[in-house]
Amino acid sequence: MKLLKRIAIGLAILIAIPLIVALFIKKDYAVEREVVINKPKEEVFAYVKYLKNQDNYSVWATMDPQMKKSYTGVDATPGFVSAWESDKDDVGKGEQEIKAIKEGERIDFELRFLEPMEAKDDAYMITETVSPTQTKVKWGFTGRMNYPMNVMLVFMDMEEMIGGDLEKGLSKLKSNLETKN
C-alpha cells in the first residue's frame, strides 16, 4: 500500500512540474527573416501580394507535389483563401487567408492548420524601398501556444524550425524575381 501511495505521489509530481513550469514560460513567439531583392518595390509587391505565387518560392508549398490545393475568392485581395490537403503528416491540411493589404507595403495572412494538429498563426510580408532598384522583403510569423501547451516552446526552437524555411523561401523569391524579365 505504501508503494502504491509513493507511486501515486511520484506521478502527481511528474505531472505537476511541467504544468507549474508552463505558468512561467512565454506563450507567444515571432520569427522574421528578410532579403534584399534587386528589383523596384512596386514590382516586388505586385508579385508577393498574390498567394498563388507562393507556390513558386515557399518551401512549404513544395513539400508534397501531390498536395491538393483549392482557392476561394479573388487572389491579392482580403478574404482570398488558399487551402491545401496532403496525406503527409508534415504538410497536413490547412488554409491561408489574406486578412489585410496595405498596397505597396504589407500583406497580412492568417494561417489555419487543421490536421494533423489544429493551430492558428499570423504571417505577413512587408516590402520596403532600399533604393529605386532594390527592395527589402520581410517575411514573418507570429503565434501563440496557450497554457499548458506552451511548455513545448522549451523544446521547440521556433527560430530554427521556421526561420530556415523562411530564409530558403526568400532566397528562392529573390532568385525568381531577379532572373525574371
Which domain range does residue 134 map to? Answer: 27-179
pLDDT value at 59 more than 70:
yes
CATH number at residue 143: 3.30.530.20
| pTM of this prediction exceeds 0.75 | yes
Is the residue at 5 inside a domain?
Answer: no
Residue whose C-alpha cell is 498567394: 51
Q: Collect all residues with Cβ–Cβ distance below 8 Å to 9 and sequence separation of at least 6.
A: none
Supply the pLDDT for residue 116. Answer: 81
Per-residue pLDDT, averaged over 90-101, amounts to 94
Supply the pLDDT for residue 71. Answer: 96
State pLDDT tens for residues 124-133: 999 999 999 9
Per-residue pLDDT, averaged over 84-102, amounts to 92
pLDDT value at 149 more than 80:
no
Is the residue at 39 inside a domain?
Answer: yes
Number of folded domains in the chain? 1
Q: To the nearest whole number, what is the mean pLDDT of the chain? A: 88
Is the residue at 107 inside a domain?
Answer: yes
Please compute, for residue 37, the number of CA atoms within 13 A of its CA located in the half-sphere on the CB side: 30
Is the residue at 16 inside a domain?
Answer: no
Q: Collect all residues with Cβ–Cβ distance below 8 Å to 2 and sequence separation of at least 6.
A: none
Is the residue at 6 inside a domain?
Answer: no
Is the residue at 36 inside a domain?
Answer: yes
State pLDDT tens for residues 36-57: 999 999 999 999 999 999 999 9
Residues paired with residue 135 on neighbouring β-strands, in sequence order: 37, 129
Is the residue at 77 inside a domain?
Answer: yes
Of 27-31, 81-85, 93-97, the one with minimum mean pLDDT is: 27-31
Per-residue pLDDT, averaged over 143-156, amounts to 67
The confidence band for 143, taking pLDDT boundaries of 50, 70 and 90, is confident
Distances (CA, A) of 159 to 19, 118, 140: 24, 20, 11
Distance CA 38, CA 41 (A): 9
Residue whose C-alpha cell is 497580412: 108
pLDDT value at 147 more than 70:
no
Is the residue at 164 inside a domain?
Answer: yes
